Amino acid sequence: MEQQKKVMLSGIQPSGDLHLGNYLGPLRHWPEMIEEFDCYFFMADLHTITVRQNPADIRRRTLTQIAQYIACGLDPEKCVLFVQSHVPAHTQLAWVLDCFTMFGELSRMTQFKDKSAKNAENINAGLFTYPCLMAADILIYQPDFVPVGEDQKQHVEICRDVAVRFNGIYGDVFKVPEPYIAKVGARIMSLNAPETKMSKSLPEGCVFLMEKPEDIMRKFKRAVTDSDTERCVRYDPQAKPGVSNLIQIHAAATGKSYEVIEAEFEGKGYGAFKPAVGEAVVECLRPIREETERLLADKTYLEQVYRTGAERAAYVAGKTLRKVYKKVGFLPQ
Ligand code: ATP
Ligand code: LTN
């Protein structure tokens, strides 16, 4: 009998253009998974409106993100690619999960604390219950694994807690998924502030996937290195956060080990190292940018991809939602 494939799911919000942190953290690993697992990858557009957005930007970024997913190697024939808002079962399940998630649990979420500190004038209910929608995104496909960057681990943990709580009351409805966090690249730091993670909200320290090679080189040449007297290329995140981040980026972009990189730049200093990392990144991103541009010129193809994806996703999501509705006692239609 053919063994059933394990299921994997992940998404990224189209709230900013995709950057090197998104790529070297989770996205780069997704294509390896599509052969081995049944994979669902989506554009988490519903999540973006917890912060005020320009509507035209959401549309443009969502479409670009689909093209980028494909350009990074996610073959739409081999995995399910879709837009979150095209599958209403996510929000339907989210409401149910809202009622099984505690105020105290949500108050402890670091992302909520960070984002509400940054947007003090718009601490809306969606920002607070965001983890319930994320739990619904996940649980509705019954995945075994959720590949994300380290900063999302807490959200996957609350999702597991809610699933266990729900299963404890109604029986085994949800599979309890594991977060899956790659070691190299799990946390790419900002190029000009290596103590904070690379993020679109700090654009000078952030390299975007669609950025021109000359802009990428400029950002790497200006990258903050450390003020220690040693000035050698050595991986030591405590003493040398800036250089260690660059080593990590080089390693993730080229597949070389930290030791090989250290040996390659022994005695060469930061002046030679920074442009070399820039070049490695430019070469790593070039095929992705070119393929994304090619795909964006073919809107009909992209539309067909996300329509088919939404149909396939809705079929699976509908099954879980019907089971949940029945368990909680809603009268069947
Ligand atoms: P924000 O600026 O709102 O924090 P972001 O730019 O960090 O957003 P997200 O949409 O939150 O991007 O992240 C999408 C995915 O990329 C998540 O799985 C997240 O863990 C991962 N990720 C984001 N930034 C990094 C980073 N610097 N290093 C590694 N992974 C990252
Ligand atoms: N919260 C995530 C995006 C996201 C997600 C998900 C990731 C929304 N739903 C489900 C994995 C699984 C973020 O901000 N990066």
Residue-by-residue pLDDT tens, the chain, 333 positions: 556 899 999 999 999 999 999 999 889 989 999 999 999 999 999 999 999 999 999 999 999 999 999 999 999 999 999 999 999 999 999 999 999 999 999 999 999 999 999 889 999 999 999 999 999 999 999 999 998 878 899 999 999 999 999 999 999 999 999 988 877 667 899 999 999 999 988 899 999 999 999 999 999 999 998 777 777 899 999 999 999 999 999 999 999 999 999 999 998 889 899 999 999 999 999 999 999 999 999 999 999 999 999 999 999 999 999 999 999 999 998
Q: Which atom of ligand 2 approaches the CA of 147 most closely? A: 11
Q: Which of 53, 65, 91, 148 has most ligand 2 atoms within 8 Å of its beta carbon, as the pocket-test mutant?
A: 148
In the beta sheet, which residues pair with residue 41? Answer: 10, 81
Q: One of 6, 175, 200, 327 is an active-site residue; which one?
A: 200
Q: Which atom of ligand 1 approaches the CA of 115 most closely? A: 3
Question: Which ligand sits nearest to residue 45's alpha carbon?
Answer: 2
Residues 198, 306, 144, 254, Cα dihedral to 10°: -40
Give catalytic status of residue 200 as yes or no. yes
Question: Which ligand sits nearest to residue 184's alpha carbon?
Answer: 1
Task: Give how far Cα 69 sits from Cα of 59, 66, 74, 187, 247, Å.
Answer: 16, 5, 6, 20, 25
Q: Which residues line ligand 2 (CB under 6 A)?
A: 9-13, 44, 47, 134, 137-138, 146, 148, 152, 155
Q: Which atom of ligand 1 approaches the CA of 51 most closely? A: 3
Give catalytic status of residue 212 as yes or no. no
pTM: 0.92
How many whole angstroms from 152 Cα to the centroid of ligand 2?
7
Task: Give how far Cα 266 sits from Cα of 10, 228, 236, 332, Å.
Answer: 39, 16, 15, 69
Q: Sheet containing 178-180: give its strands across.
A: 80-83, 38-43, 7-12, 145-147, 178-180
* Contact between residue 206 and residue 16 where contact means Cβ atoms under 8 Å apart: no
Assigned token pair, 134: 């994320």
How many whole angstroms from 85 Cα to the centroid of ligand 1?
20
CB-based contacts of 329, cutoff 8 Å, min separation 6: none
How many whole angstroms from 30 Cα to the centroid of ligand 2?
14
Assigned token pair, 142: 């019954």
Closest to 102 (Cα-Cα) out of 126, 73, 61, 131:
131
Q: At what angle do helices 125-139 and 110-118 cross, to 10 degrees?
A: 140
Q: Which residue has the tokens 């040693």?
A: 230
Assigned token pair, 261: 């990189």
In the beta sheet, which residues pair with residue 43? Answer: 12, 83
Dihedral class, residue 68 (left if φ above 0, else alpha if ψ from -120 to 50, else beta): alpha
Spatial distance between the Cα atoms of 330 and 125, rounded to a whole number of angstroms: 25
Rg (the chain; Cα; Å): 21
How many whole angstroms from 22 Cα to the centroid of ligand 1?
5
Assigned token pair, 309: 């994806």
Q: Which residues line ligand 1 (CB under 6 A)?
A: 12-13, 15-16, 21-22, 25-26, 148-149, 151-152, 186-188, 197-201
Task: Give how far Cα 248 sits from Cα of 9, 204, 237, 243, 244, Å.
Answer: 25, 19, 10, 9, 6
Q: At what angle do helices 110-118 and 153-170 cross, to 10 degrees?
A: 130
- Burial state string for 89-118 with b = 16 or more CB within 10 A and e = fewer than 16: bbebbbebbbebbeeeebeebebbeebeee
Q: Which atom of ligand 1 approaches the CA of 190 most closely? A: 27
Atom 15 (ligand 1) nearest CA: 22
